[in-house]
Amino acid sequence: MRYRLLGRTGLRVSELWLGTMTFGEEWGWGAPEATSARMVDLYLDAGGNVVDTADVYTNGTSEEMIGRLLGPRRERVVLSTKYSLTVRPDDPNGGGSHRRHLVESLEASLRRLRTDHIDVYWVHFRDYLTPVEETMRALDDQVRLGKVLYVAVSDWPAWEIARAQTLAELRGWSPFAALQTQYSLLERTSERDLIPMCTSLDLSVVAWSPLARGVLTGKYLDRAATGRITVTGGSAEMDPRTEAVVRETVDVAEELGVTASQVALAWLLSRPAPVMPIIGATGEQQFAENLAALDVDLAPEHVQRLDAVSSIELGFPHDWLALEVVRRAQYGPVREKIDA
């Protein structure tokens, strides 16, 4: 296990994060506490130091379980949790990114996690009813109180994250240190705006669903002709592109003598903009297999094949601005002589 700095902070975080959405069986799938405990042990023994959860995961059971399982090991763990999704569907203030729900959610998470502070506190989703200014100021208040050490963001548009960062910088508030985004060989649309934004603003990139809810393991290939397939927490489309990406991932795995899951995770770890995947599982063997992705070295030709089969169109204006005729119109023939 190696470590990276979180955004523009000095906080050292491991390159693989432990995801705990599977801790608890309240949603009809997941892992019981004994299995979850073994996964925590495996992760910490491998050198991992970030445990990621959310107040709504398995209706709060995930946080409660983590609080019990960490015990005296809390000090060596970077504890990461989230807020903003509704916890009372019949209450108009039971969810959102506004100050009231933030304070309420944070206090509840602190109780369940059995700690007096959260190391990294995430705004889970963009709440379009709450002004960005209110959210950023409310987060900064909790940092100043010492209940939150670093703040981060998940599932927001790039332009609003950039606006939030600018507000924080101008007003002396705590800026976001990282972005959680859906990112995998099957979901690369974050490369259009979110990841370039993170590179520009020095936000760390944390990838959720790096195995595309299990599709990249290859276990659904025999049902490729059926169209929609049942996956963890819902369904997914096994369309021609998906099938092609999964088959190439499996082929590379067979050539290397590893699993498709390990190849998919190793591809993320090899991205030009450093990415930290969140790994989770419902069983100890599956989790140990995912951890072993750290030992997989993809050759340049393997990365090239995976990049090619999973490539996406960046769309306007990115693809248009990359056209040679546009580049020459903008810069003229001297562009190649300018080092940038």
User: What residues are labeled active site?
Assistant: 57
Alpha carbons 335 and 205: distance in angstroms, whole number: 31
Phi-psi region of 213 (alpha: psi -120 to 50; beta: other; left: phi over 0): left
Q: How far is CA 148 from CA 102, 145, 151, 156, 175, in A?
A: 11, 8, 7, 20, 12
User: Can you say how many angstroms the Cα of residue 89 is from the centroid of all Cα atoms in its chain?
Assistant: 25
Instruction: Fill in the amino acid letter for 317.
Output: P
Contacts of 39 (CB under 8 A, 6+ apart): 18, 31, 281, 284, 287
Contact 31, 282 (CB under 8 A): yes
- Encoding tokens for residue 20? 């705990």
Contact 127, 115 (CB under 8 A): no
What is the distance between the terminal CA atoms of the chain, rounded to a whole angstrom?
33
DSSP 247: H
Reference 213, options 194, 198, 232; nearest CA is 232
DSSP 155: S
Instruction: Calculate the CA dihedral of residues 265, 266, 270, 275 and round it to 10 degrees.
Output: 30
Alpha carbons 260 and 240: distance in angstroms, whole number: 18
Could you identify the residue written with the tokens 């595309």? 212
DSSP 23: B
The residues facing 184 across adjacent strands are 187
Contact 179, 150 (CB under 8 A): no
Contacts of 234 (CB under 8 A, 6+ apart): 213
